[in-house]
Every structure is written in structure tokens, then in C-alpha cells.
Amino acid sequence: MTLLDRSAATPDAPDPDPADAPAVESSVRSRSFGAYVRAYVALSKPRVIELLLITTIPVMFVAAQGVPPLWTAVWTLLFGTMSAASANAINCYIDRDIDQEMRRTRKRPGAMHQVTPRGAMIYGLTLAVGSTVGFALLVNWLSAVLSLFAIAFYIFVYTMLLKRRTAQNVVWGGIAGCMPVLIGWAAVTDRLDWAPFILFLVVFFWTPPHTWALAMRYREDYAAANVPMLPVVAGDRRVLLECVLYTWATVVVSLILWPVAQTTLFYPAVAGVLGLVFLVQAHRLFNQSRAGVSGAKLKTMNFFHLSNAYLALLFVAVTIDPLLKGLFA
């Protein structure tokens, strides 16, 4: 239940020698309790989990047509966080070799040997079991199955199958990051409907341009680690054209929620304005690439941060709309 990895850049750090593994394990055991806890928290990628909560909470309001039951929301957020942390921790375990090759990931706990590989795997598996059992016992079985599917998909399909083999890795691997909307809906209603699938598609189409904007900034990192992200295997113009197309798909699908969920006019008004801003920036970058602008001058990180704001504000509108509907019903 996690979005694809989009951690911020970190400065260069020396790579530990694998031959020193016994000494590293001894060093891990001798660390202070606070440092030990911080390493495992970092292993969970809390910044990625924040993005998940942005999509989980609003859909629960839509499903409940107002404020969702308190304990359902609490348990869903708790076990959803555990589920995402599980997938992220196991991802760090699997990718610890390439994390050492990339500047922006060299200070992750696995790459820096702040936790042992065995500890990372046990931590991830424990969280996976705990979140699945928690969903099943305290929420419902449908949310438990969806959560387990998200963990398995992120690990086996994205991390192990797609990430190192195809430039379409973030397109199909991004399905794992779309699952929170289905889990949040299922937690409240114990079934699925068309509305959460519309929001699922919003996140699905939003993920590639968002991730590729970051990958363009760190293209050399991915190339050094032999990860065939689209910006590594294609030129700027091709990447930004695809960003434009996926941005259009995101905005169009976001507006389909209006008739499907029978929202008030507040939601399409906000979605329309946000979508316009998002599209203008996508087209601006593409036009700059057509004019010969390349590299850092394209300022793709501005688009990356804008995409974060777009998704967050769109889902804020998703949260507010059913409350407004209740007030004026």
C-alpha cells in the first residue's frame, strides 16, 4: 500500500565494504536505542506514507457521505500505515544494492547498514502480518485482502519484476500506490463501487508524470544503478510528451468523479482549476523541450512539487465535498 519511492535527495556518503558485514552487524547492535528506532522509522519511508494518507482519508469521507466512523478511520489509518511501512521496508531490503549506487538513496538505513538485512526483512514481514490480521479482525476481510494484495504487488511485481527490467516500471508498478483509495472505501462500506475506482485511476495516471519529473532530475542516479526509468532510456521531449498525455488523463478522470459520485459543484470547480494549473505546467515543460531547453534548465522539480500539491488539494476537495452536501441536503 505504497506509492512508488520518491524520497528527497541526500548528499554523497561512503559505501560500507560488504566484506565488513560482521563488523557492521556488531556496529548495528551497539547503536543507541534512539538511533536504532530512527533507522527503522526511516526504513518505513514515512514521507511516502504521508502521501498514502492523503488519499486514504478523503475516500473514507466520500464512502461515508460525511464523517466516517471514528474507530474505523483510526484502525484503517493505523493498519494502512503498517501495511505501507511493511512494503517499504522489504523494498529497502531488496534494493539495498542499488540504493548504494544512487546519490539520493545512499543514506537509507539499508544502504548505510544502519539495520541488518535480516532485521529489515523481519521488520517488514512482521508489519505485513500485523496489518493484515489487524484489518481482518478490527475492520473487515475485504480491506485485509486489498492491503495484502498491495504489499505483494509492490514487492513482487514492481520491486522484483518491473523496476530493473522495463521503462514501464512506474506505470504498472504504480498500481500499488493506487490501492489506498480502494482500502479506505472498503473499510467503510465492506464493498467496492465505481467512485473509488475513479479515484484509483486518478492516482494511476498521476503517478508516471510525477515520478518521471523526479527521475529526470536524478537521471544519472538511475543510469548508474541500471534502473531503466523512462528518462534514462528516452530523450526529454519523449518523456515530457508522455507527461502531458498522462496529465491530461489525470485531469479528465478527476472530473468524471463529479457525475459518478454525484458531488456538489464544489468538487468539479476545484478539480477544474487545479487541473488547469497542472496542465499548463506540463505543456510549458514540453514546449520548452521542443524549443531546445534541456537538463536542469527545464526545472522539472517544480513540476514534481506542483504534482504533489495538485494531488493533495484535489483530495482535500474530495474530503470537503460530502460535508458540504450534508450541510445543504
Say how far apart CA 131 and CA 85 lie, in whole Å: 10
Region of 264 (left: φ > 0; alpha: ψ -120 to 50; beta: rest) is: beta
Q: Are 13 and 105 in contact (CB under 8 A)?
A: no
Q: Is the pLDDT of residue 325 over 60?
A: yes
Average confidence (pLDDT) over 187-193: 97
> What pLDDT does residue 15 have?
45
Say how far apart CA 150 and CA 221 lie, in whole Å: 27
> What pLDDT does residue 4 have?
57
Q: Is the pLDDT of residue 158 over 60?
A: yes
> What pLDDT does residue 18 have?
47
Q: Are 92 and 105 in contact (CB under 8 A)?
A: no
Q: Is the pLDDT of residue 93 over 70?
A: yes
Most confident of 18-22, 42-46, 261-265: 261-265
Say how far apart CA 211 and CA 234 lie, in whole Å: 15
**Residues 6+ positions from 30 with CB-CB distance below 8 Å:** none
Q: Is the pLDDT of residue 271 over 50?
A: yes
Helices assigned H by DSSP within the chain: 21-30, 33-43, 46-64, 70-94, 96-99, 117-138, 141-152, 169-173, 175-189, 194-217, 219-224, 230-233, 236-261, 266-290, 300-328
pLDDT digits (tens, 9 = 90+) for 300-312: 999 999 999 999 9
Q: Are 311 and 213 in contact (CB under 8 A)?
A: no
The grid coordinates listed for 293 are 531547453
- Which one-letter DSSP state was computed for residue 164? T
Q: Is the pLDDT of residue 32 over 80?
A: no
CATH code: domain 25-328 is 1.10.600
292 phi, psi to nearest 5 deg: 100, 0
Say how far apart CA 207 and CA 173 lie, in whole Å: 10
Longest CA–CA span in the chain (Å) reads: 68
> What pLDDT does residue 57 have?
93
Say how far apart CA 96 and CA 183 lie, in whole Å: 29
Higher pLDDT, 78 or 99: 78
pLDDT cut 90: percent of the chain above it: 72
